[in-house]
Structure 1
């Protein structure tokens, strides 16, 4: 039978006295805080921002509420405000611990104020990264001829991950998509692009001042596709932000053949033409089509509208193999700031096996 050993539990009780002076001090502090309670009327009224291009930088935060100070001083009077992602927080000046902002109350430009916000609560648009961003989120997609507006994740089609710049550059050394090359037979004469072969000239399209339903059109020669045997031009309009790449067959009568919504990546081994481009409305578009050589046409295979990033450089995107696509991107709210470059990120998209077969 085991012997039980008694043990002693020692406890200490600390008695804390209440100092009436402390209570008085706390009351005074609370009174001081109450006295500092302010409203919008306490902030300096200013002219609202009418041209975003004149804003030095924009600010973003992940907090639900933020503090607006009347001056760049942590002891200054301040107002707690709910953060609204639909509102604009225009940064104009940088201090040690603060940014000065121009803010339109209830998004009303005529009711704008100057306020000061803590640097610790905001990130300038030029310094945004993909950290914490859901890369899989999409707005809509089309697989072959089937549109899907309900599915909001890319995992239906494959995977998407952020990679390092080093991995991006290493993978680019083994790219398998076609590189467009300049055709010396394509020349600009006056305002016209022409194809010259054996002394015969064929006008491809007018270089500028072409009237279209979208306004004046400007064409820039991009290069020749050896696989497709077509000439590629970048077409833009001075009245819209839309741009696209058109393909011309110069061996017949320099006729328009097909187009893509962004700089094309041509994959001869699959007969694919792809592109990735920033969407004017939301995020960016990724599309793949199959080239139908006999008809000089294309069959749509996949379209995805990603919501949380935009494209940094269309011409830098490439295929590492027939399932793996790389692109350089920015967070969707990223923007240039005076004297500061945006922080680029790099993504890798991998399609599911036999997805487009």
Structure 2
């Protein structure tokens, strides 16, 4: 009799467990049935406006609806292979059209929390490819087919604080004041002697044969690294720098549109100047056996211009500079800061 009671209890227990499992499965099925799925949309983004950008590089949840409990979700992160456009907004959420490209493309209408995103700024360098170039020249080999600086290094945004903390770290003074340049006001020339005793004269004022404009020369000093006397020449609000060899009067004068910055450790010069056509030009140079500039790398960046006199070495292979979006003209109130790293 006792065995019969025990068996009966066990059977009832098993039936109860099976019933509970069935109810749990039914409940789970019911919950799954109520999950709000993502709405798929077309990849046609011709009319899309108001692009959104991540505030930082943290992962963010994309929801299928503002009901975060019942929504299908997708984890997204800051990536160049995706774009997000604003459709509508509420107090807490942005309704967005989300496009992800690559090997498994997908496009959803969904919702993200507003605190993770900001609106596109037409003057922000975050919205452009900083490594895009029009052409480059490495050790005399011209290349207008490769459109990325990444074969030589990288360009990326840094904070203003980082820029201010690191500027002048790697710059080395290479031009020093000198008393060896004489001024003759009567004849209107500066003069100096070469190592072999030849006398070189530089007109204080003269008229350019090419432009017909008057220019004014001012001595800056002497560069032991270049074995040259350096003059600044102003002509109709334009400035160039001329380098006269102290070693040999027959050496051709070297000209620069800006004074390069010098890094003693790598014995390299860097120039970054705005191009009248597009973007800006980076030039990295060394020295040849005659103490003349020898260009190693030239690259024409297309998506940013620089604020003059803000370029600094921070180590042998890194430069920092203040830059602006090419959409900006004369207004540089919206400037950002770049780190340029290269391998030569």
User: Is the TM value for this pair above 0.5?
Assistant: yes
Q: 1:273 to 1:122 in 2, by over 3 A?
A: closer
The equivalences for 1:100-115 within 5 A come to none
CA 1:235–1:332 in structure 2 vs 1: closer, same or farther (change >3 Å)? farther
Matches within 5 A, 1:100-249: 128-186=123-181, 189-190=184-185, 191-195=188-192, 204-216=201-213, 217-238=215-236, 243-249=239-245
- 1:254 Cα offset (Å): 9.0
Q: Residue 341 of structure 2 aligns with which residue? A: 350
1:304 corresponds in structure 2 to 299
Partner Cα distance (2:268, 2:303) in 1: 26
- Give the structure 1 partner of residue 322 of structure 2: 328
Aligned twin of 1:259: 255
Determine helix, strand or coil for the equivalent of 2:222.
strand
Question: CA RMSD for the aligned pairs?
Answer: 3.5
Match of 1:275 among 268, 271, 274: 271
| Structure with greater Cα Rg | 2
> Partners in 2 of 1:258 and 1:169 — Cα distance?
32
Shift of 1:349: 0.9
Higher mean C-alpha deviation, range 201-210 or range 158-167:
201-210
- Measure how far apart 1:277 and its partner are: 0.6
Distance 1:173 1:319, change over 3 A: closer
Number of the residue aligned with 2:87? none
Give how far 1:272 is off: 2.5
TM normalised by structure 1 equals: 0.55
Instruction: Please name the residue that 2:3 is paired with.
Output: none
Closer/same/farther in 2, CA of residues 253 and 172 from structure 1, 3 Å limit: same
Deviates more, 1:245-254 or 1:144-153: 245-254
Deviation at 1:226, TM superposition (A): 3.0
Residue 161 of structure 2: SS of its match in structure 1? Answer: helix
* 1:236, distance to aligned residue in structure 2 (A): 4.6
Report the CA distance shift for 1:242/1:287 in structure 2 as closer, same or farther (over 3 A): farther
Alpha-carbon offset, residue 300 of structure 1: 2.0
Q: 1 CA distance for matches of 2:161 and 2:221?
A: 28
The 3 A distance-change label for structure 1 pair 333 and 181 is farther
- Once the two structures are TM-superposed, the CA of residue 324 in structure 1 deviates from its matched residue by 0.9
> 1:293, 1:329 → 2: CA distance?
34
* Residue from 255, 279, 286 that aligns with 2:282: 286
User: In structure 2, what is the equivalent of residue 318 of structure 1?
Assistant: 312
Distance 2:326 2:183 in 1: 37
Give the C-alpha shift of residue 203 in structure 1.
5.3
CA distance in 1, matches of 2:226, 2:339: 26
1:4 maps to which residue?
A: 19
TM superposition score normalised by structure 2: 0.57
Is the CA contact (8 Å cut-off) linking 1:335 and 1:342 kept in structure 2? Answer: no
- State the alpha-carbon separation in 2 of the partners of residues 179 and 172 from structure 1: 17
Shift of 1:329: 1.8
Identify unmatched segments of 5+ residues in structure 2: 1-13, 31-46, 51-118
Structure 1 unaligned segments of length 5 or more: list them: 10-62, 67-120
Count of aligned residue pairs for this structure pair: 234
Contact 1:221 1:234 in 2 (8 A): yes
